[in-house]
Amino acid sequence: MSKKKVAILYGGKSAEYDVSIQTAFSIINAIDKEKYEIMPIHISHEGQWIEGTAIKDKLEHKSQLLLSEKTGNEMAAGKWLTPAAVNPVQSKPDIIFPLLHGPNGEDGTVQGLMELLGIAYVGSGVLGSASGMDKVIMKDLFKAHQLNQPKYLSVTKYEWEHRQSDIFEKIKAAIGCPCFIKPANLGSSIGISQCLEEKAIIKAVNEAFCFDDKVIIEEKIIGREIEIGVLGNDALAASVPGEIKTGGEFYDYQSKYQDGNSTLLISAYLTEEIRTEVEQTAFKAFKILNCKGLARADFFIRDSDRKVIINEINTMPGFTPYSMFPLLWEHSGLSYADLIDRLINLGIERHEERQNIRYRIE
């Protein structure tokens, strides 16, 4: 039986570039190389696509993935649109595993390219990825479906530049402090500020606008932080729940990837009633956003009334062996390597199902 060709797409024009490299290193080393042929494709900070040779052995260091013109072949992003006779560099992969976090990768842009290429890929499609990336759109959709979530407001850079005083007063009246201010289209807690006092709001909004042209302001929920993994396309499965205990003021980029001050408790203790509500809300949110393959759903259990409050869905969660999503599934009986295998199969299954869609009228 021939090996399936899996293109691992990583890097990208995003503030989450380093997270993507770290994730790719972990997945490439864990994937079953007896079953899959690994094709690395590095997207540089500048947006240059570099294709490397097939990886047959374990990597020793993530720097081996920083391909350049000297260590790989520059390729056009849409090279597989051309016939093999015209562009015979390599045959198409059977599936692409996009390990891109943030804008220009997790937001539907690359997913749209893969749809045009007609190649199977892991994870959500254009709509699911785009709505999962933009926190404002996501929360607007949750609101339309009456999911419990924190109070929020959004502001564009144009609005802030032209009506800063009015918007500042609106934030104070509608949200107040403490609150969180975030770029609307970024993950890994990059660019997030916690404002304990109103005087900190303007600086925090300006900081968030360094990373995006749209910002979201959310009330701070006092309570437990719970996360759960979702797997599947239509028939969904939930992992055991996990809980985040932070050593700092909140679970920011430094807590996630640098200082080790956060603790992940798996499995988190929840009553049967609350666990069922968390699972069912995660499934509902997954379907509302039209997610596919995988997602991590983040919740609060509010201290004052024990209400389950959804915070967000992440369509391409952190995926190192020490990230919450794979750890949740490991504690649910699915190893890291088996989880990767399952996601590849889900991507292929979805692609095959979509081949039955008619694109012409007989």
Report pLDDT digits (tens) over 41-93. 999 888 888 888 888 888 888 888 887 766 665 555 556 544 444 344 456 89
Q: Point out the least confidently predicted range of 52-61, 189-198, 248-257, 260-269.
A: 248-257
Number of Cβ within a 10 Å radius of residue 168:
16
Q: Mark whether 92 and 166 lie in a shared domain.
A: no
Bridge pairing between strands 242-245 and 263-266: antiparallel
Q: Mark whether 241 and 346 lie in a shared domain.
A: yes
Name the catalytic one among 14, 16, 129, 279: 16
Q: Mark whether 277 and 343 lie in a shared domain.
A: yes
Q: How many domains is the chain partitioned into structurally?
A: 3
User: Can you tell me the distance from the alpha carbon of 125 to that of 229, in angstroms, rounded to the nearest whole number?
Assistant: 18
Q: Which amino acid is at 1?
A: M
Q: Has residue 137 been placed in a domain?
A: no
User: Domain of 165?
Assistant: 151-219
Q: Has residue 194 been placed in a domain?
A: yes
User: Can you tell me the distance from the alpha carbon of 201 to that of 191, in angstroms, rounded to the nearest whole number?
Assistant: 13
326-354 per-position pLDDT tens digit: 999 999 999 999 999 999 999 999 999 98
Q: Mark whether 236 and 163 lie in a shared domain.
A: no
Q: Has residue 130 been placed in a domain?
A: no
Q: Mark whether 97 and 155 lie in a shared domain.
A: no
Q: Mark whether 215 and 265 lie in a shared domain.
A: no
Q: Mark whether 281 and 328 lie in a shared domain.
A: yes
Mean model confidence pLDDT for the chain: 88
Q: Has residue 145 been placed in a domain?
A: no
Q: Mark whether 241 and 348 lie in a shared domain.
A: yes
User: Can you tell me the distance from the alpha carbon of 154 to that of 163, in angstroms, rounded to the nearest whole number?
Assistant: 13
Catalytic (active site) residue 352: no
Q: Point out the least confidently predicted range of 63-77, 119-133, 258-272, 319-333.
A: 63-77
Q: Has residue 142 been placed in a domain?
A: no
Q: What is the DSSP string of 205-262?
A: HHHHTTT-SEEEEEEPP-EEEEEEEEEESSS-EE---EEEE-SSSS--HHHHHTS---
Please state the residue numbers annotated as binding site.
135, 180-182, 188-189, 218-225, 298, 311-312, 314
Q: Are 193 and 179 in contact (CB under 8 A)?
A: no
Angle at Cα 42 formed by Cα 40 and Cα 48, nearest 5°?
Answer: 140
31-49 per-position pLDDT tens digit: 999 999 999 999 988 888 8
Catalytic (active site) residue 188: yes
Please state the residue numbers annotated as binding site for Mg(2+).
298, 312, 314
Residue 83's pLDDT is what?
42
Radius of gyration of the chain (CA): 21
Q: What are phi and psi of 331, to 5 degrees?
A: -75, -10
Q: Could you tell me the CATH number of the domain that includes residue 273?
A: 3.30.470.20
Q: Mark whether 20 and 84 lie in a shared domain.
A: yes
Of 197, 219, 241, which closes a domain?
219
Please state the residue numbers annotated as binding site for ATP.
135, 180-182, 188-189, 218-225, 311-312
Candidates 227, 230, 231; CA nearest to 323 is 227
Q: Which amino acid is at 349?
A: E
Name the catalytic one among 188, 239, 255, 262: 188
Of 167, 197, 219, which closes a domain?
219
Q: Has residue 184 been placed in a domain?
A: yes
Residue 147 makes CB contacts below 8 A (sequence gap 6+) with 281, 284, 285, 288, 310
The length of the chain is: 362
Candidates 70, 69, 55; CA nearest to 24 is 55
Residue 29 makes CB contacts below 8 A (sequence gap 6+) with 58, 59
Give CA separation, 141 vs 147, 154, 174, 208, 300, in Å. Answer: 9, 14, 20, 22, 18
Q: Mark whether 232 and 211 lie in a shared domain.
A: no
Q: Has residue 254 been placed in a domain?
A: yes
Q: Mark whether 180 and 211 lie in a shared domain.
A: yes
18 or 250, higher pLDDT: 18
Q: Mark whether 329 and 277 lie in a shared domain.
A: yes
